[in-house]
Amino acid sequence: MSPPPISVSSTPISIERVTESRLPQVDLANVAFGRVYSDHMLSARCCDGVWEDPRIVPFGDLALHPATAVLHYAQAIFEGMKAHLTDDGVPVLFRPEENWRRMNRSARRMVMAEIPEEIFLGGIRELVRLDRDWIPPNRFGSLYIRPFLFAADPYIGVSPSREYRFHIMTAPVGAYYEGSVSLYVTRKWIRAAEGGIGEAKAAGNYSASYYGMKEAREHGCDNVLWLDSKQHRFIEECGTMNMMFVIGDRVVTPPLGGTILPGVTRDSAIRLLRDQMGTGVDERPVSIEEVAEASADGSLRECFGVGTAAVVTPVARLTGGGVEVRLPEDTPVQDELRERLTSIRLGRSPDPYGWVDRLL
Ligand code: COI
């Protein structure tokens, strides 16, 4: 079934401001990821393919009928983005159009309504301007932006909804991972299979990973290094990050083949490695055995994850599935990559790709 074409009623985004901000109760220098939300959120709905009533309102609970389709069949997708403050105090977004495009690719895959640019990007820009005082100073973190779309029909027949609700909320956040992470290799559980929804940013991909994550934690690890669904050998991603390995003088990263998330940070990292750091990047299948062998012969120099929340996160250890790999502590490639990414994003170095969206 193909979703109806996008159409928007002519209503512009209306704004209802809070009467009193909650910001004075928040310590922006100490916010855990995903626990605190800013004053406003965006709400819009789409009925039978027509978008209506986009509004920014005070942050608050959603009232849902118990039969709301998403609660039963998980027809839900989301995005993750960040706003930062430049050194001269201007709020900036990083490649927001890429998130809008990916959100609509996810919507198509999940047979959901696509979101018009003026609601997705227009809504984010309005919200970030309105809650700009919630953006933590750079040394403490950023304002995480979470757009999400869900099936809202009060109907438990198994079928795509006619009504969708779209919201954007924002949250001041510190680091997602504090320092380096250990990843658990499982040959038993999988995150996604060919022909499935692995490349969509669908809510179900995340809950599907919880069982493996539980095992990972029981083995003292932070998360799972997912392998392919057929041979249980080829590295996919980590659920919160795409993966990169420095083997010899090249960076190797799994290709986008439909089962892993096409990360905006992954794409940005590949471009910076190639164009600015002169580092060859191979997007090719990489097996866990190859990584273990490279570790044994000394050619595995680094392993790191890249993602919006995680930025560039070092991996200290891979364990499980018959593999035990300790990564070197010296990490020059990822350190330089993180520094370059951060400087472009904060307007400290030139932005040759036009990635930064300044919200003046
Ligand atoms: C992100 O990096 O924004 C993600 O969506 C990963 C995770 C926080 C779910």
Tell me the pLDDT tens digit for each residue of 302-314. Answer: 999 999 999 999 9
Which atom of ligand 1 sits closest to the CA of residue 146? 3
Q: For residues 49 and 163, give the distance between their C-alpha atoms in angstroms, rounded to a whole number.
A: 8
What is the amino acid identity at position 61?
Answer: D
User: Which amino acid residue places its CA nearest to atom 6 of ligand 1?
Assistant: 240
- The yes-or-no verdict on residue 250 having pLDDT over 90 is yes
The pLDDT assigned to 5 comes to 55
Q: How confident is the model at residue 138 (pLDDT cuts 50, 70, 90)?
A: confident
Could you give phi then psi for residue 225, rounded to 5 degrees? Answer: -95, 105
48-67 pLDDT tens trace: 999 998 999 999 999 999 99
What is the amino acid identity at position 266?
Answer: R
Rounded to the nearest angstrom, the distance between the alpha carbon of 309 and the centre of ligand 1 is 5
The pLDDT assigned to 7 comes to 64
pTM: 0.95
Rounded to the nearest angstrom, the distance between the alpha carbon of 19 and the centre of ligand 1 is 31
- Which residues sit with their C-beta closer than 6 Å to ligand 1? 80, 206, 240, 307-309
Closest listed residue to residue 75, CA positions, set 113, 45, 41: 113
Could you give phi then psi for residue 159, rounded to 5 degrees? Answer: -165, 150
Which atom of ligand 1 sits closest to the CA of residue 263? 2
- The yes-or-no verdict on residue 1 having pLDDT over 50 is no
Which atom of ligand 1 sits closest to the CA of residue 144? 3
Q: DSSP per residue over 29-48, as a string? A: TS--TTT---SEEEEEEEET
Task: Identify which of 98, 143, 148, 240 to mutate to test ligand 1's pocket (most ligand atoms within 8 A of the CB).
Answer: 240
Q: Are strands 14-15 and 50-58 parallel, antiparallel or unpaired?
A: parallel
User: Which amino acid residue places its CA nearest to atom 9 of ligand 1?
Assistant: 240
- The yes-or-no verdict on residue 2 having pLDDT over 80 is no
> Which 8-state DSSP code applies to residue 70?
H
Task: Identify which of 308, 311, 313, 341 to mutate to test ligand 1's pocket (most ligand atoms within 8 A of the CB).
Answer: 308
Q: How confident is the model at residue 289 (pLDDT cuts 50, 70, 90)?
A: very high
The pLDDT assigned to 176 comes to 93
